[in-house]
Amino acid sequence: MTTQAPSPDFVQKLAEIRAQFPVLEREVHGKPLIYLDNAATTQKPLPVIQALDEYYRRYNANVHRGVHTLSEEATAAYENARLRIARFVNAPSPKQVIFTRNATESINLVAHTWGRANLGPGDEVLITEMEHHSNIVPWQILQEQLGFTLRHIPLTSQGTLDLSQLDGLVNQRTKLVSFVHVSNVLGTVNPVARLVEAARSVGAKVLIDAAQSVPHMPVDVQALGADFVVFSGHKMAGPTGIGVLYGRRELLEEMPPFLGGGDMIREVKLSGSRWNALPYKFEAGTPSIAQGIGLGAAVDYLNQVGVDWIWEHERTLVRYAYEQMSQVEGLRILGPGPEERGGLIAFTLEGVHPHDLAAILDMDGIAIRAGHHCAQPLHDRYGMVASARASFYLYNTLEEVDKLVAGLEKAVDVFAL
């Protein structure tokens, strides 16, 4: 593809963005770090690092439980972060934003609260063949205990969902359709509206794993039309140890608590307890206070950069990378073309194990992922044990793509000897 020369304003903005991420200044094996493992976790900008530091330096205290100044400051910062995160995804109310450890815990919360209360023999849960293990294993565990049927939408050879079978898979027994918004391996952006429409036609609920979409593109949970949406803070320039479950309020009100303990209760007697209001009913014990505040700082930063800008920048990167990588001898890209995918490319290189490839690239300071990416059924579908993956974010550049491609060509030469 012919890439248009970036404007001076774009060059300046990208330079300013990169300057906000201290880790990008380091070298690995004597080479400047090129970080292309963003689908696993993203790097953290100074405003997030500073928010964490300020909490621990100035007002470290528990939340919701104290009337002293530090506790009130911590509570205000923590709950204000929840409000900003709710606005970031257009949730109707911050009460519908439940803090968890990560997207995996969010899915488990739904499985063990809504699932236990609503699923049983004769019912069906529908997932897809491209799911991350976090949207497979919780349902398998629950299936063994409750006796419902777990079904999946298969994949086409192009790495998209085979919707020709959707009408046969969605039926009156279907109680939940749970699927990934953007595949963490194929990059496929799934047809949310079509899947939600199919679920609604039989009265089924919908859960969307948005771990690979919320960080990269504008996501409006109300526009998605799902009952539950989950995502992780560490994949969107925020800290590890903090995730989000968005849920429709009426469903959250009906669901039993996930964990029992402090702060999730309104009243405790030896004879029984009454649960706290949303969102606290699902947030037992001391929460990840610093991490929640850090995630609030992360969404402020992403808003400042502009989520639309991030999405367009990543699309430029992935288009360019797709074309350049396609020219590497023996390289096979998994998934659909660049216009149908998010900002990542998983691939194999003939004659080179993905782990060996990642090790070779690491010697040039290039960080990619190698393995099954917590998606073994997907790899089984395409007859692979593992793949390599380059995933982009707001701070990556076209020049870094060129260095990746040069590293891949170097690997071809090394293994041809």
pLDDT one-digit tens code per residue, 198-218: 999 999 999 999 999 999 999
Please give the pLDDT value at position 417: 52
- Rounded to a whole number of angstroms, the CA Rg of the chain reads 22
Among the listed residues 374, 384, 406, 412, the single catalytic one is: 374
Q: Mean pLDDT across the chain, nearest whole number?
A: 96
Query: Tokens representing 227?
Result: 């009952």
User: Is the confidence at residue 5, as pLDDT, over 80?
Assistant: no
Tell me which residue of 276, 119, 103, 65 sits closest to 182, measured CA to CA. Answer: 103
Confidence of residue 415 (pLDDT cuts 50, 70, 90): confident
| C-alpha neighbours within 13 Å on the C-beta side of residue 2 | 1
Q: How far is CA 382 from CA 229, 355, 377, in A?
A: 28, 18, 9
66-113 pLDDT, tens digit per residue, is 899 999 999 999 999 999 999 999 999 999 999 999 999 999 999 999
Residue 329 CB neighbours (<10 A):
11
Report pLDDT digits (tens) over 311-370.
999 999 999 999 999 999 999 999 999 999 999 999 999 999 999 999 999 999 999 999
**Cis amide linkage into residue 279, ω under 30° from 0:** yes
Locate tokens 């609604």: which residue? 200
Domains and CATH numbers, the chain: 8-41+306-416 (3.90.1150.10), 49-303 (3.40.640.10)
Range 224-229 average pLDDT: 98
Query: For residue 225, how many other CB atoms are within 10 A of its CB?
Result: 16
Quote the CA–CA distance of 91 and 355 in Å, as a whole number. 40
Q: What angle do CA 204, 256, 80 make, to 5 degrees?
A: 95
374 tagged catalytic: yes
Q: Give the mean model confidence (pLDDT) for residues 288-300.
A: 98
Whole-prediction pTM: 0.96
For residue 288, pLDDT beyond 70: yes
CB 21 within 8 A of CB 45: yes
**Six token digits for residue 210:** 């948005």
pLDDT of the residue at 296: 98
Give the distance, in angstroms, between the CA of residue 131 and the centroid of all CA atoms in the same chain: 12
